[in-house]
Amino acid sequence: MTSAKDAPTVFIVEDEDAFIEALDIGLQREGFRVEVARDGAEALLNFETVKPDIILLDVMLPKVSGTDVCREIRKKSQVPIIMVSAKGSEIDTVVGLEVGADDYIVKPYRLRELVARIRAALRRSSLTQSEIDEVGIGTVRVGDVQIDPEQHMVTVRGTVTKLPLKEFELLYVLMANAGRVMTRENLIDRVWGSDYYGDTKTLDVHIKRLRSKIEVDPANPVNVVTIRGLGYKYEKLTS
Ligand code: CA
């Protein structure tokens, strides 16, 4: 099957032949170009040549692990990365998200689910320019919320909203990473510091307060969403 020149390229980094074969056929049928690397070293070696639009990165790989590949690629590129983990290796998934992966999927998964995740990740990355506008130094705008760290000012649907320091910092970290799952550990590290040993409920309480100030309906949040078992994500909203 021939695919159009502008078809998005999915870089599959995977060592199991059965998976590679199924993905190659399935993803081409869905209109993607497919490139394959069979271990972590090959992935890093060929990354620049392949110029992928998205990477599907297995966690358990020969030579260089998926999380190390992710860490290396993040030093030079913001290309969307979906980590693929086997059932029971959720720890690796968390590490993957902490080193910059955008999303994860657990084997075995359905092709339909994978394609939906790929399309969502591509949509988010293509929205980066228009949806997250850098308005002045450090200011981030996502959808109807804008945060300016220099003026310590948050504007929600046109109205200036006052936030206490930790809520402000939490919102800034979430918005600057919009579209990406932030683990609870990562958020606590970045807002309260890595030497923080307090109750992790603190984070949930702050999230709740934040929602009451920025969400249209705090009981059904659409800006700051909960990712069960992992953490939170600031959604890049599209209307
Ligand atoms: Ca593997």
Among 125, 154, 170, give the residue marking a domain's end.
Answer: 125
> Both 195 and 230 in a single domain?
yes
Kindly tell me the number of DSSP H helices and DSSP E strands found in the chain. 8, 13
CA-to-CA dists, residue 90 to 60, 82, 144, 186, angstroms: 12, 14, 34, 16
> Both 89 and 134 in a single domain?
no
CA-to-CA dists, residue 150 to 114, 139, 169, 170, 230, angstroms: 40, 8, 12, 15, 30
Residue found under tokens 């080193």:
99
User: Considering the domain boundaries, does residue 197 fall inside one?
Assistant: yes
> Both 110 and 169 in a single domain?
no
Among 71, 100, 125, give the residue marking a domain's end.
Answer: 125
Cα 89 to averaged position of ligand 1 atoms, centre (Å)? 12
Which tokens go with 163? 């936030």
User: Considering the domain boundaries, does residue 179 fall inside one?
Assistant: yes
Per-residue pLDDT of the chain (239 residues; tens, 9 = 90+): 444 567 999 999 999 999 999 999 999 999 999 999 999 999 999 999 999 999 999 999 999 999 999 999 988 888 889 999 887 766 777 777 777 788 888 888 899 989 988 987 887 666 544 444 444 457 888 888 999 887 788 999 889 988 888 899 899 999 988 888 999 888 988 888 777 766 677 898 899 999 999 999 999 999 999 998 889 999 986 54
> Both 33 and 115 in a single domain?
yes
> Both 149 and 65 in a single domain?
no
Tally of domains in the chain: 2
Cα 19 to averaged position of ligand 1 atoms, centre (Å)? 9
User: Considering the domain boundaries, does residue 17 fall inside one?
Assistant: yes
| Helix locations, the chain, DSSP H | 17-29, 40-50, 66-74, 90-98, 111-131, 165-176, 184-192, 201-214
* Partners of 133 in beta bridges: 141
> Both 154 and 224 in a single domain?
yes
User: Considering the domain boundaries, does residue 95 fall inside one?
Assistant: yes
Cα 17 to averaged position of ligand 1 atoms, centre (Å)? 10
Cα 26 to averaged position of ligand 1 atoms, centre (Å)? 19
pTM beyond 0.85, yes or no: no
Cα 128 to averaged position of ligand 1 atoms, centre (Å)? 31
User: Considering the domain boundaries, does residue 135 fall inside one?
Assistant: yes
**25-31: long-range contacts at Cβ-Cβ below 8 A with a sequence spacing of 24 or more?**
26/111, 26/115, 27/111, 27/115, 27/118, 28/1, 28/3, 29/1, 30/111, 30/115, 31/3, 31/4, 31/7
> Both 111 and 31 in a single domain?
yes
Query: What amino acid occupies position 50?
Result: V
> Cα–Cα distance between 181 and 226 in angstroms, integer?
9
- CATH no. for residue 183? 1.10.10.10
Cα 54 to averaged position of ligand 1 atoms, centre (Å)? 18
> Both 142 and 190 in a single domain?
yes
Looking at residue 87, its pLDDT comes to 73
Looking at residue 239, its pLDDT comes to 43
Looking at residue 106, its pLDDT comes to 85
CA-to-CA dists, residue 182 to 5, 25, 229, 232, angstroms: 34, 33, 11, 5
> Both 88 and 136 in a single domain?
no
User: Considering the domain boundaries, does residue 2 fall inside one?
Assistant: no
User: Considering the domain boundaries, does residue 3 fall inside one?
Assistant: no
Cα 61 to averaged position of ligand 1 atoms, centre (Å)? 5
> Both 42 and 112 in a single domain?
yes
Looking at residue 103, its pLDDT comes to 81
> Both 67 and 162 in a single domain?
no
> Both 121 and 133 in a single domain?
no
What domain range includes position 134?
A: 129-234
